[in-house]
Amino acid sequence: MKDIQLPFGQHYRINALRVAGAIGFCFLAITAAPLPLPLLSSFLEICGISAIFIAIAGRGWVLLYIGGRKNSELVTSGPYSITRNPLYVFSLTGITGVGLLTGSLISMTAFVLCAYLAFEMAIRGEEAYLSSRYGHRFQAYKQAVPRFWPDFSLWYESEALPLRSGRALASLKDGIVFILAWIGIELLKVGQDAGLLPVVLALPF
């Protein structure tokens, strides 16, 4: 019997992101973003908020397709026809939005890099599992569809695909993490402006 590799433990990825997020907010609490330019600051804020809501809506859209079937079925249509990891793409979009709201490109880059590395670990484990479970089917899918960055020219829709709205609606609760991060950043800024939080380091950009 073929040896089936179990998927990467999702709780490890989640815990890694939680730890990285906590460290990130501790760092933000003692650092000051560059002096804001009104137009640039407004632009970054609009882009950040837009990215957060795109991430929330996008994750719900993806979960309409995959529902509770992740790692149990090989879904290759809809968002999974243009990228093999659409959930991670939208999650990274939301994290980029949170980074933009800090007003610092250094902070944003750190947030995105840490998240990408955590997702990369998860993807490697999941792909090993899918490869051992589906063999040539997954290898063909892997060759045809990008691992991360979407290729919209590959869009494919399956008429027989059951859409699972319950799981998609439940995913909206996950979006509260992005909203809470947004609120947390605004509270940090208020605390620094009021002198309640000491600024140890001023970031150059």
Distance, CA of 166 to CA of 137 (rounded, Å): 28
Task: Pick the closest to residue 69 from 172, 175, 168 (CA basis).
Answer: 168
In a domain? residue 17: yes
Distance, CA of 135 to CA of 119 (rounded, Å): 23
Arithmetic mean of pLDDT over the chain: 82
Q: Which domain holds residue 69?
A: 10-202
Task: Say if residues 119 and 54 touch (Cβ distance below 8 Å).
Answer: no
Q: What is the pLDDT of residue 1?
A: 41
In a domain? residue 5: no
Task: Report how many domains make up the chain.
Answer: 1
In a domain? residue 167: yes
| Mean predicted confidence (pLDDT) in 188-197 | 85
In a domain? residue 71: yes
In a domain? residue 4: no
The SS3 of residue 201 is strand
Q: pLDDT, tens digit, for every residue of 12-23? A: 666 666 777 778
In a domain? residue 2: no
CATH code at position 91: 1.20.120
- Assign 98 a pLDDT band (cuts: 50, 70, 90): very high
Exposed/middle/buried for residue 132 (C-beta within 10 Å: 0-12, 13-18, 19+): middle
Distance, CA of 71 to CA of 49 (rounded, Å): 31
Q: What is the pLDDT of residue 69?
A: 64
| Mean predicted confidence (pLDDT) in 166-182 | 75
Q: Which of the residue ranges 18-32, 34-48, 51-65 has the most confident prediction, judged by mean pLDDT?
A: 51-65
> Which residue would you say has higher pLDDT here, 146 or 25?
146
In a domain? residue 80: yes
The SS3 of residue 34 is coil
In a domain? residue 23: yes
pLDDT at 57 over 70: yes
